[in-house]
Structure 1
Amino acid sequence: MNCEEFVGLVTVFLDGALHESAEVRCLVHLAECDSCETCLDQFRQTTAILGELPAPRLSTETRDRLRGAFRALPRD
């Protein structure tokens, strides 16, 4: 695994949602790469800080418009 591959998987890695073989590859890469270890730490810190923010307060109209817009997105 290289750094670009790791960065592409970092959020899935943090969620614990990787297939076991991919997780092992990430762990091996992290053991060898200080830059990606730093990247992982920054993602953890960002997630923790964002988790402390209060939930946004949207008006019912805005929330309904957003839901409608997401429902209208094409699905693969």
Structure 2
Amino acid sequence: MSRLRFRPRRDVVCREAVELVTNYLEDALSQAQRRRFEAHLAHCPDCPEYLSQMRAIVALAGSITPDDLTPRMRGEFIGLYRRWQADEAHDSL
């Protein structure tokens, strides 16, 4: 009886590409990861658009100043940051 052998996939799939976008934009991928990611982009009909949208979000977010936020928004961001800090402190115990 023959056994089927499965090789791990070397190609990036869309779900993985979505997870790699931030590291790609921050130039934090290894050369091999970057090549695989860019090969996926070259053949995928959807992921280049997602990457373009993420670039636009980063550009817009980078142009926001504290003066652009309402007092309520500032309070919400401060609350989120404090909860994140508390979680980080708790996780390091």
Higher share of residues assigned helix:
1
Query: Which consecutive unaligned segments of at least 5 residues does structure 1 have?
Result: none
State the 1:68 CA deviation: 5.8
Residue 70 of structure 1, CA deviation:
5.1
Match of 1:25 in 2: 36
Which residue of structure 1 lines up, in the alignment, with residue 14 of structure 2?
3
Sequence identity of aligned pairs in percent?
Answer: 30
Q: Larger C-alpha radius of gyration, 1 or 2? A: 2
RMSD: 2.8
Please state if 1:69 is matched with 2:86.
Answer: yes
Structure 1 residue ranges, 4+ long, deviating more than 3 angstroms after superposition:
55-59
User: Which SS does the other structure have where 1:34 is aligned?
Assistant: coil
Aligned residues: 73
TM-score by length of 1: 0.78
Structure 2 stretches of 5 or more lacking a match? 1-11
- Which protein has greater RCO, CA pairs closer than 8 Å, 6+ apart? 1
